[in-house]
RNA sequence: CGGGGUGUGGCGCAGUCUGGUAGCGCGCGUGUUUUGGGUACAUGAGGUCGUCGGUUCGAAUCCGGCCACCCCGACCA
């Protein structure tokens, strides 16, 4: 993308309504614009990030065998009456009436709908297990939206739903999804820690929140340093091997980790002093086993091996995709702006032409831009270098290829790593090799 | 939903107390200048002062209703 033609409205000053870093930076870097309280329009750069995050989530869901579907945003009130939640849900649910006076709602979640879809077509235990997910916009009419995209009313969420014929199988599904989540967050460039969450009336301990660490996090969290030492990406665990899943689950649940609500002072005190960790965290995912709550209420059964009817066991698994955009920024930014990871950055690199119009600079920039194609943001504006540096730092592309008249005369460019500030004088070819993703 | 606050050009703000028909900085357009960390000068465009009503010769300013947005708390992916 040529910056001179791009719709990336950056701001030098911070709009008054933005309080936290990620909100300020998302507005300043031209990622989003607020349309109503808690409702945002995604501009080109922001949408690219949102899509990249969604694609990593999708990739890891597919990898553990979940299948993608797409359910509607609008649902029928009747469906929710089947589970009894239409009355229970309260004012957070946006209720709508159509021209025929039929009661509809803008979905805050999809347990009822996925259960109805499953019920219609799955009749035998042989079809299980199943795990279906979708990535869709949801709406919860929060009393007080805030923190920009981190706590909006409309938000993009991945939610998966598992169906199994027994509790034991449901536990496998749960653990498999936990592994997929750990892989997902690692790829997004953040450290996520699963912490035991409240299971409400269902009971048991099969509910975990995934917390990523950021100084401006919403809640205080406590954990064992062990979580910093586990490398999920090295393929130590296979998701189809129950023994591996067991080992993985133990490694995730044995060391201490808790949010302030579930914090146990005594248990935390027992951790050796040098292993104690305490910080702020943002919840970006939640997994939950809830058994037959919906299948029972909605009369879902399948034929078992012995011909008798079975009620499938369910779990649901959410990742806040749009929230993650804000959360990733909270975790990785500095005074100058955003610091994107290579995996989610809207563009792999920014090419800064420090002297647009200079033959040598133009030539090198055009060649770099042609080689990188859609993965580069080319600052071809005729602005001063200072403005270009400031905008590139603000927008946070992981690499900046700085092309100025001094180096260009010798056929050299400067490669800057946004995260560390390191700079290297290299040939354009070397820069390309470093930057390609 | 309780408490507090704000609405004035794209953004940040002053002007409101004490009524006389709107101003500053940034940004934007044009020209010159500058060219490795938001250059300087000149010039120009852009505002029914959130909205409806009232008071007044006259309302951004005073009074009332409404709307929107923000902050603290409770709640939440």
* Residue A333 lies inside a defined structural domain of this protein: yes
Are A177 and A249 contained in the same domain?
yes
Instruction: Identify the CA nearest to A416 among candidates A352, A367, A326.
Output: A352
A104-140 per-position pLDDT tens digit: 999 999 999 999 999 999 999 999 999 999 999 999 9
Are A267 and A324 contained in the same domain?
yes
Asked which of A302, A318, A338 is the last residue of a domain, the reply is A338
Distance A27 CA to B65 C1' (A): 34
For residue A197, is pLDDT > 70?
Answer: yes
* pLDDT, position A18: 87
A412-437 per-position pLDDT tens digit: 999 999 999 999 999 999 999 999 98
A337-350 per-position pLDDT tens digit: 999 999 999 999 99
Are A53 and A143 contained in the same domain?
yes
C-alpha torsion angle, residues A313, A316, A317, A318 (rounded to 10)? 180
A247-302 per-position pLDDT tens digit: 999 999 999 999 888 888 899 999 999 999 998 899 999 999 999 999 999 999 99
Are A295 and A384 contained in the same domain?
no
Are A289 and A396 contained in the same domain?
no
Are A226 and A368 contained in the same domain?
no
* Residue A95 lies inside a defined structural domain of this protein: no
Contact A348, A398 (CB under 8 A): yes
Structure tokens belonging to residue A179: 């592994």
Distance A34 CA to B51 C1' (A): 21
Give the domain CATH number at A404: 3.40.50.800
- How many structural domains compose chain A? 2
Distance A151 CA to B29 C1' (A): 39
Which residue's CA lies closest to nucleotide B10 at its C1' atom?
Answer: A11
Asked which of A338, A358, A389 is the last residue of a domain, the reply is A338
Nearest nt (C1') from A282 Cα: B77
Please list the alpha-helical segments (H only) found in A93-158.
Answer: 111-121
ipTM: 0.92
CA dist A403 and A146 (Å) reads 40
* Residue A101 lies inside a defined structural domain of this protein: no
Nearest nt (C1') from A354 Cα: B36
Are A170 and A297 contained in the same domain?
yes
Average pLDDT over residues A401-416: 95
Asked which of A338, A357, A378 is the last residue of a domain, the reply is A338
Contact A224, A251 (CB under 8 A): no
Name the residue range of residue A368's domain. Answer: 349-435
* pLDDT, position A236: 82
Distance A88 CA to B77 C1' (A): 19
Are A124 and A200 contained in the same domain?
yes
Distance A165 CA to B69 C1' (A): 50
Nearest nt (C1') from A336 Cα: B37
* pLDDT, position A79: 95
Are A377 and A327 contained in the same domain?
no
Nearest nt (C1') from A148 Cα: B70
Q: In which band, very low, low, confident or very high, does the pLDDT at A200 lie, cut at 50, 70 and 90?
A: low
Structure tokens belonging to residue A223: 């954990």
């Amino acid at each position: 993308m040529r910056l001179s033609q791009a719709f990336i409205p950056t701001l030098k000053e911070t709009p008054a309504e933005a309080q936290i870093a990620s909100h300020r930076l998302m507005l300043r870097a031209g990622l989003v614009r607020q349309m109503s309280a808690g409702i945002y329009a995604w501009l080109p750069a922001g949408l690219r990030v949102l899509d990249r995050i969604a694609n990593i989530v999708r990739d890891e869901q597919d990898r553990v065998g979940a299948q993608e579907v797409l359910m509607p945003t609008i649902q029928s009130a009747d469906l929710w009456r089947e589970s009894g939640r239409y009355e229970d849900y309260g004012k957070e649910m946006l209720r709508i009436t159509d021209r025929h006076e039929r009661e509809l709602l803008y979905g805050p979640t999809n347990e009822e709908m996925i259960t109805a879809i499953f019920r219609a077509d799955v009749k035998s235990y042989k079809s299980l297990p199943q795990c279906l997910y979708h990535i869709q916009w949801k709406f919860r009419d929060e009393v007080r939206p805030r923190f920009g995209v981190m706590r909006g009313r409309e938000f993009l969420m991945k939610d998966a739903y598992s169906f199994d014929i027994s509790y034991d199988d449901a536990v496998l599904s749960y653990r498999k999804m936990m592994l997929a989540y750990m892989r997902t967050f690692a790829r997004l460039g953040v450290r996520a820690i699963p912490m035991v969450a409240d299971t409400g009336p269902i009971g048991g301990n099969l509910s975990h929140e995934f917390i990523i660490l950021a100084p401006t996090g919403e809640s205080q969290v406590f954990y064992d340093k062990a979580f910093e030492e586990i490398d999920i990406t090295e393929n130590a665990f296979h998701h189809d091997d129950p023994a591996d899943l067991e080992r993985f689950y133990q490694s995730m649940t044995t060391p201490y980790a808790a949010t302030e609500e579930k914090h146990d002072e005594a248990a935390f005190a027992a951790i050796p002093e040098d292993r104690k960790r305490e910080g702020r965290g943002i919840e970006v995912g939640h997994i939950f086993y809830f058994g037959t709550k919906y299948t029972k209420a909605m009369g879902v059964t399948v034929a078992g091996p012995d011909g008798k009817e079975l009620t499938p066991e369910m779990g649901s698994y959410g990742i806040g995709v749009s929230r993650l955009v804000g959360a990733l920024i909270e975790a990785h930014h500095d005074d100058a702006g955003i610091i994107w990871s290579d995996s989610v950055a809207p563009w792999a690199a920014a090419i800064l032409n420090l002297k647009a119009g200079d033959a040598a600079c133009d030539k090198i920039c055009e060649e770099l831009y042609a080689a990188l194609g859609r993965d580069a943001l080319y600052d071809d504006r005729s602005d001063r270098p200072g403005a270009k540096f400031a905008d590139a730092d603000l927008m946070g592309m992981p690499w900046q290829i700085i092309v100025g008249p001094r180096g260009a005369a010798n056929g050299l460019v400067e490669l800057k790593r946004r995260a560390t500030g390191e700079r290297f004088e290299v040939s354009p070819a070397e820069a390309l090799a470093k930057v390609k993703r």
